[in-house]
Amino acid sequence: MNETLAQTIDAFVGSFNNPDLDKVMSFFAEDAVYLPGKKPELHGLAAIRAEFAPQFAGRFGAMTFDVYDTVIDETRRRATIRWACRLDLTGDNGRRAMPLLRWFARARYGGRVQWHGLDVFHFDTDGRISGKFTYATFRLPLWEAAKNHQPR
């Protein structure tokens, strides 16, 4: 990869927002590590793909990420992003979502919720993600009604 880390991060997030699991997986190194929040650390492409598969199958409705902040350290091959994850469970977007999630989001928030987090990325010398570490201070997302605002 000849891109800067900022370009790689933008393309990676874009692959989530225009859902393409194969494209997302193409950013990871073979031996990558993924820490999905409070769950155990996952190792290797197969385990990471299995963790991401439900969201690409629509189990959480239509999911998009808005990045608020990006911090890049090219020298150490590190990046951190702070984001809002927005879930739209209205209409067809919620058709494949887990029924309880769909019901709760629609009853409490009109079908659109969001939560916030950050990811720390480590990159190998080829520019592939060798580590993706997602952090939050809660076991389950702190749902709130989605707001229609642009990233800061």
For residue range 30-70, list pLDDT tens digits in order.
999 999 987 899 999 999 999 999 999 999 999 999 999 99
Q: What are the structure tokens assigned to 22, written together?
A: 């194969």
Tell me if the pTM is above 0.85. yes
CB 29 within 8 A of CB 130: yes
Tokens of 44: 């290797």
Closest to 141 in 3D by CA, of 66, 36, 46, 52: 36
- According to DSSP, residue 61 is labeled B
Specify whether the backbone of 144 is left (phi greater than 0), alpha (psi in -120 to 50) or beta. Answer: beta
